Amino acid sequence: MSVRPTRDNIAEYLLFMWQVEDLLRAYGLDIDKVEQSLVNPVYHSPEERKEARDWYEGLIMMMQSEGVQEKGHLQINKNIIIDLTDTHLRLLKDPAESEYIATYYNTLPHIVALRAKGTDPEMPELETCFTALYGYLLLKVQQKEISWETQASVDQITKLLRLLSEKYNTVQ
């Protein structure tokens, strides 16, 4: 069992990393608590436990050095958004990418609606999409009711990010 997540689906990877950031915050960036709750129950061999602890500890140190102990995202995760945005913009300019372009324009009203509801207007479009998906996942975990409008937005955003992830893998 590998400790580090794979980047086969870059969108899932980014959402996973945002979740890890929040988990580390929930444990007060305390590696001993992380080890007790996230490492020991999952990893059984001493080698796996050491690798997992080292990985989490490295993330904690990065969070502290980058000043994202309470909120925000690690630069490595911001770089993924930047890379995805570059891919996204290239795809939008490529006439051969009609499926992607159509999916984007079908998603755009949902992005605009999210921004109108108070999302930072300066936030890149794709980050708005990821923030919406992450919020949706948190609602699901909390077993909160999800409106049909939210579900429709999430479904469309998921289509876009799934397609973007597939395209990203082919150009990387």
- HEC letters along 130-166: HHHHHHHHHHHHCCCCCCHHHHHHHHHHHHHHHHHHH
Say if 3 falls within a structural domain: no
Say if 44 falls within a structural domain: yes
In this prediction, residue 7 carries a pLDDT of 64
- The Cα–Cα gap between 94 and 83 comes to 17
Do 107 and 129 touch, CB atoms closer than 8 A? yes
In this prediction, residue 119 carries a pLDDT of 62
- The Cα–Cα gap between 167 and 117 comes to 30
Do residue 84 and residue 55 come from a single domain?
no
In this prediction, residue 63 carries a pLDDT of 97
Confidence of residue 117 (pLDDT cuts 50, 70, 90): confident
Q: What pTM was estimated for this model as a whole?
A: 0.88
Domain boundary among 66, 87, 105: 66
In this prediction, residue 144 carries a pLDDT of 93
Place of tokens 């690798």: 51
Do residue 79 and residue 104 come from a single domain?
yes
In this prediction, residue 4 carries a pLDDT of 56
Of the candidates 111, 91, 90, the residue with the CA atom closest to the CA atom of residue 99? 91
pLDDT tens for residues 74-100? 999 999 999 999 999 999 999 999 999
Say if 94 falls within a structural domain: yes
Average pLDDT, the chain: 91
Do residue 123 and residue 38 come from a single domain?
no
Q: How many domains does the chain have?
A: 2
- The Cα–Cα gap between 17 and 59 comes to 10
Q: Which domain holds residue 156?
A: 75-171
Do residue 62 and residue 79 come from a single domain?
no
Domain boundary among 66, 84, 107: 66
Domain boundary among 26, 49, 66: 66
pLDDT at 2 over 60: no
